[in-house]
Amino acid sequence: MSAAALPVANSYAALSAGNAAHRIARAPGRARPEAFTRAFDTKTLFYDCFWDADGTRVLLVGPPPYGLPYKAAIFTARPSGDRLRVRFWPSLSTMVTELVAVPRDTTAIEVSLAGETMSLPVQPNACAELAGSRLLFTINKDNDLAWIREWATWHARLHGTDAIVLFDNASTRYNLTELHGVLASVPGLKHVGVQHWPHSFGPYDAALKANPYWARFLQIASMSVVLRRYGERAYGLLDCDIDELAGTRSGASLYDLAHASRGGLVVFHGTWIEAVGQATRHRGFTQRLADPKPAHSPQRKWALDPARPWVRRLSVHPYWHWIEGRAWFSKSMPDDAFYWHFKGINTNWKHDRTRAPQGALVRDELLARRFAELEAAP
């Protein structure tokens, strides 16, 4: 039985190219290459506009201001014509705009900013539809469909994932219908949503040593959309890229670990799996460096119980490797949780990870055992 399709239409808004108003970079006086300037998003205002989980507010998610005059913007509900009260919840790489006391018959938000007026349809909220679900999410561009299916199948069978939201950043190797079909056919999945986000991904900023990935607005904003539009009532949210497979040493589900944890947030590191051989799926790669230090993948991933009261605060922003604004003592790092990071599952869009490894290799026996369990599952 194919998974049900989640609502995925979104409401994007940007200033016109000729508008003098624009977003500026942090530390604007520092020299940056032309590649940064080309990739830096100066005009996007919002990626999406949708009802909140309670149906009383409208939330807009987009990049942070960095010089754009959001505080001078006028937000009007249509068709009522009511001018709406607004609160802004900015962070380093994203911002949630909260419109309060929105009339129930509102179908669109009219935004007037920097001399331009645009209308954003208010999209439906799917949190009630996904209540109690185990939700997995990521962003994708041109990853092989066989990789995507393996990634989804692993998490469905070994962790109980039953819902996936995937943001596609203008893939050219297949269309959205094909991508949705691959995910919807994975056994165990009940809900699938593939959002079309063809906008600028954002550059790496070598001019700043602290948080040089700050300008990747699209990636980080997608995570607030996942939480606020889809996931606030889920049993758990799991953050893993297509080249990452989440695991536990005990075989427990990461959703269960987060649900049972003191603060609702489980954070974990990974192990690099080397690109040895010509495999077409994750299961063809099982070797890691014998030396644990270079085999360690330091990027943190996380699983979250979104029912915790602190998660409802709009000052809480999920990031790819942490959660901004989380409550004190909400994070735990159990030894049981980790992930495998596959160098061979990679389009080399950032840098070449498929070069021959430097050092002695060993077979990751736990990974091989988990793949055997995957094969044996009905």
| One-letter-per-residue 3-state SS of 137-160 | EEEECCCCHHHHHHHHHHHHHHHC
pLDDT reading at 300 higher than 80: yes
The alpha carbon of residue 210 and the mean position of all alpha carbons in its chain are separated, in whole angstroms, by 21
CA distances from 229 to 57, 122, 131 (A): 12, 11, 12
Rounded to an integer, what distance in angstroms lies between the CA atom of residue 308 and that of residue 56? 20
The alpha carbon of residue 284 and the mean position of all alpha carbons in its chain are separated, in whole angstroms, by 26
Query: What's the pTM value of the predicted model, to 2 decimals?
Result: 0.95
Task: Please name the residues in contact with 33: beta carbons below 8 A apart, sequence gap of 6 or more.
Answer: 206
- Tens of pLDDT, residue by residue over 165-204, are 999 999 999 999 999 999 999 999 999 999 999 999 999 9
Is residue 251 within 8 A of residue 275, CB to CB? The reply is no
- Tens of pLDDT, residue by residue over 70-127, are 999 999 999 999 999 999 999 999 999 999 999 999 999 999 999 999 999 999 999 9
Is residue 165 within 8 A of residue 137, CB to CB? The reply is yes
The three-point CA angle 280-137-193 to 5° equals 95
Model confidence at 375, pLDDT cuts 50, 70, 90, reads confident
Model confidence at 326, pLDDT cuts 50, 70, 90, reads very high
Is residue 151 within 8 A of residue 161, CB to CB? The reply is no
Report the half-sphere exposure of 83 (CA within 13 A, side-chain side).
3
**Predicted local distance difference test score (pLDDT) of residue 353:** 63
- Tens of pLDDT, residue by residue over 258-295, are 999 999 999 999 999 999 877 889 999 999 999 999 99
Tokens of 185: 């056919």
Phi and psi at residue 35, to the nearest 5°: -60, -35
Average the pLDDT over 146-170 and give the result. 98
CA distances from 304 to 121, 156, 234, 239, 250 (A): 30, 17, 10, 9, 19
Average the pLDDT over 335-354 and give the result. 81
